[in-house]
Structure 1
């Protein structure tokens, strides 16, 4: 997915929320609405990046959308657009999206199936919901590539994780490992990505990597994360330092959330529009090459329409930024 804001900017500040006494403190990040464009625009809820927390591990972007009635909004139609220095992670709860990229990949994104695209030095792709889609509902996530791998070759991976039964729920692990399940999809930094479904009123303790920071994006219901309520559309953040994460479904219906994690990403990055670099000049160069249709990004075949133009650069120098590091306690 492209960041289609006319003037791409950092998100607002998140507010810390106190957990129960003796439990790790969870910071709750609120989403802001971002229209994807057009008079009947499909709207996404963006929780990453934020000024107070640009990343969780190497996860640097999170758009949550739907349930969206495509008969009313027209669904998703994102024209060919570029990426650098990152990986895109597509995950659906309902609907279907057609993916085309400059590697020549033509794939469908379906519920419960991971599509991961590595941009490396440069790639372009398009995303269009299919005619079979009535309700579109899912997330688009980005992962920042570390310095030593950010110019790696373009790549595409597809994986269908098997559901794993938890005591009080179910997990589908699409990246990393959790609850005895491990994804075969390679990552460039230690990561976790899993869809969790929690039974009504269930309390589910999860053994997690104490060296990871974790984010919980709630899709359905309301979930208590380490004692702190996280509501639908919000992202709960927990710093490294705990080996057990307790989740509680606070409702009488099944709850659903994505658990994202990773070791703290200690590099400072410049992130603007669809590009991740390390300096202002790198972003300027990438934008210029996209506008010039340079070979760096290749060409997407089969999309019926024009490429997405880059927005104007701001009249300020883009500066690298990184996360504050906090320890759970």
Structure 2
């Protein structure tokens, strides 16, 4: 309603420019690649943390016994809960974990793709055989020490069922799947969100270690390949935004608003935002937004060229403008008021 709209606009001026904002679709190959990178960072950080405490971490592949397969196929989350409940009963506590689903073929199980799981277990203080024995009635467990290569193998399956090229989609559609009363093909079957669910313990990846917390000047973390010496730079996952300072949060919000004002609102609106930003940001942060604005705008326009519709903006009423003037000391003679607001 009108009241809700005014509350949104009266909160902070830069909110006006981000009330319609583009977000990742979460389904294209680029989005899924970023998701894989984000999960790799979290798993790597957790593994590094456990290593710093001299705790063991292992890679696991969990298969499903035939007598449990149909029920697991209909509810993978129920099967995983049961698996970790077996562990808890045997050892008196559960295991910190990150587990991902996959449908794939195994030479000993025929040519039909079957549900199974890959993951990491942390702080494992008992033998591999003890783990296998605890869950032996549920299926076979392959266990190995954790390596960077195996961490990357685990995250390879993030979103694998979402994005398929033409060849993979055709292959998936050729396989029939029966789950309870449902009969369909593998491609359509995998579109259900239950087969994209990830089973993650609380706090996985909280450890920063030798990495700097995200901030105004730090948006990337670097990894060096020990074998090749090549340095890979990963965007810091949004999961770590909880470590942002208030100054960094403000900088990020105004930076996004600056990009959107440049793309959608023209020079007059951008001039208004400039006046506000100069008042609320530190001089160095304001300078950084201005200098980096062009590259962000280029990326946004490149993205917009691929979408059909552009964001529209709500009308800013005179009482909202008066509120902004009182709070931030901007001049009501600014051309933004006369041309953009009052038309």
Please classify the TM superposition score into its range, dividing by the shorter chain length.
Answer: under 0.3
TM-score (norm 2): 0.21
Higher Rg of the two aligned structures: 2
Larger strand percent: 1
TM-score (norm 1): 0.22
Larger helix percent: 2
